[in-house]
Structure 1
């Protein structure tokens, strides 16, 4: 595990085969959320962005994880979660005052709609685990809120071109009112690089660490 801080700024400062299968927040059933055209990401949306849409550097500090480039807000930290069994990176988290944010990208069908399917399954799983779950609608469609013990969770998802992006923030219930906005802000400015390789639907897009971060973690493990 490695943690890397980002200090606050001072003032002034291709074609491929498709692996598709046959197939304020109000408490509602996830089945009520149809996949609507306006919920599909387009090049006119603010974000998140497909790498093909990014023409130039916008000045936003991001950590480049290969398949995703995730914003790192002032005052936040980057935490790397390693997988001891697989010997690779399990996840990378952005830790903010409101909670820990995890951004993940997956291969998706060209037809879109994967997030509604995944989100419905996720809500069912959380309920089965005893969580208090609320389904709502946000700027990209389905959003899921859950309370697990003392922890408040918020999940959002975005269907992009052949990818799906999922974001979650986990934090104290005392920050539950402000945490979703922090999560949305990071998701909104995330860049996704799907790549051209064929992948089965739902395959997580690979995470690669910047050289400096990978070296730091290797030194920690050796020490």
Structure 2
């Protein structure tokens, strides 16, 4: 795991199916089965997977995937990016209402923002439901982005793919494994809709960083 510290001052895929399975299980007065893929709510996640605990997000340990986080001096994480080769996946997790998902609204706001900046964006159906594909201009030239969203119980995960995975989902490889193995710990505290859920460095990593004056430090891979 690599991280940097800022200076001071500085539609949930397949969930219709899963919901039906859970309701059927309750009707039969049985314990609901664990979904075959995530992102999972912490209440339904399999417990036999090694994960990095970042607070509201628990990221599965996948070989050759590097976890990069940017944190403030207090260890509060501002950004999480998973990297594999030339591909990257930026992750965010947000509060959502109990009654409905927010990805449709968030996706439309992203599309309008991109359009206002002169970037082309179009919706397409993908493995997580409706996705947003965009082509933006950066300092490094034209960059393709693929926005995916997964609505869960009172939370939403947003992922942004870059690299070949932005135009070819099959190229995501291990990054897709990470997305499918994510666990969200929403907590019970009331939060405004769309507010980012809190992310933090594991205590031992934050302590190492404090001792090293903000230099990169290794992180444990287990939950």
TM-score in same-fold range (> 0.5): yes
Structure 1: runs of 5+ lacking an equivalent: 5-32
Would the aligned equivalents of 1:98 and 1:175 in 2 still touch at CA under 8 Å?
no
Are 2:57 and 1:65 aligned?
no
Report the Cα offset of residue 217 of structure 1.
Answer: 2.7
Report the Cα offset of residue 179 of structure 1.
Answer: 4.4
Change (3 A) 1:78 1:37: closer
SS in 1 for 2:71: strand
TM-score of the superposition, structure 1-length normalised? 0.72
> Number of aligned pairs?
189
Change (3 A) 1:182 1:130: farther
Change (3 A) 1:207 1:36: closer
Are 2:176 and 1:188 aligned?
no
Whole-angstrom CA distance in 2 between matches of 1:120 and 1:184: 23
Q: Counterpart of 1:47?
A: 38
- More deviation, 207-216/113-122: 207-216
Whole-angstrom CA distance in 2 between matches of 1:181 and 1:75: 11
Q: Counterpart of 2:2?
A: 3
Change (3 A) 1:99 1:62: same
Whole-angstrom CA distance in 2 between matches of 1:203 and 1:117: 14
Would the aligned equivalents of 2:121 and 2:135 in 1 still touch at CA under 8 Å?
yes
Whole-angstrom CA distance in 2 between matches of 1:157 and 1:199: 19
SS in 2 for 1:110: coil
Would the aligned equivalents of 2:56 and 2:198 in 1 still touch at CA under 8 Å?
yes
Whole-angstrom CA distance in 1 between matches of 2:161 and 2:133: 10
Are 2:176 and 1:176 aligned?
no
Would the aligned equivalents of 1:40 and 1:112 in 2 still touch at CA under 8 Å?
no
Q: Counterpart of 1:90?
A: 78
Question: Over aligned residue pairs, what C-alpha RMSD do you find?
Answer: 3.0
Structure 2: runs of 5+ lacking an equivalent: 4-10, 23-34, 216-223
Listed one character per residue, the Cα deviations across residues 20-56 of structure 1 (whole Å, up to 9, x for unaligned) are xxxxxxxxxxxxx9x99955864545221110113x5
Q: Counterpart of 1:99?
A: 87
Would the aligned equivalents of 2:54 and 2:201 in 1 still touch at CA under 8 Å?
yes
Would the aligned equivalents of 2:38 and 2:180 in 1 still touch at CA under 8 Å?
yes
Change (3 A) 1:36 1:185: closer
Change (3 A) 1:211 1:87: closer
